[in-house]
Amino acid sequence: MISTAFYPGSFDPVTNGHLDIIRRAGKLARTLVIGVGVHHGKKPLFDADERVAMLTHECQALARQGGGDFQIVTFENLAVDAANEHGANLIIRGLRDSGDFDYEMQMAGMNAGLAPDIETVFLASSPSVRHIAASLVHQIANMDGDVGPFVPENVVKMLAKRS
């Protein structure tokens, strides 16, 4: 078993798709470090502390169900550098469709060039969550639609406060 894996993302907001990957990746490593990316050029719906709080809430529930050891951190640098800083030799990436695959293959190639000792593993999203995208959750929430099927209940409440 891998000692530490790193799952980077924006998690803005945390979706059931993210949780699917987290739950399954938690079985691949003793510790899964979930990296919340902070990019100063982007304007997220939720700030980094809110995204960390969402993930902490959901990962505590996963850990109680025997889903693994999770750490949630923020990072502002390259994902491979953040993975290195946290002792991870595996980066986890979720794939929903062929568009994700093409982009993630390019990213994995670049990461391998920057940090050859860190492997990237792709996990295909489970069919029940494959259609979920945080950007679409944003749009639905902004138009007062029901996001309940796509995000955890805690996130539904946080999104409702934003509208």
Q: Give the Cα separation of 136 and 157 in Å (integer).
A: 17
Q: What pTM was estimated for this model as a whole?
A: 0.94
User: Residue 1: is its pLDDT beyond 80?
Assistant: no
| Predicted local confidence at residue 147, as pLDDT | 97
| Rg of the chain taking only CA atoms, in angstroms | 15
Mean pLDDT of 41-66: 89
Mean pLDDT of 29-54: 93
pLDDT band per the 50, 70, 90 thresholds, residue 2 = confident
Q: Give the Cα separation of 39 and 145 in Å (integer).
A: 28
What domains can you pick out in the chain, each with its CATH number? 2-130 (3.40.50.620)
Mean pLDDT of 44-73: 89
| Chain segment 104-126, per-residue pLDDT in tens | 999 999 999 999 999 999 999 99
User: Residue 43: is its pLDDT beyond 90?
Assistant: no
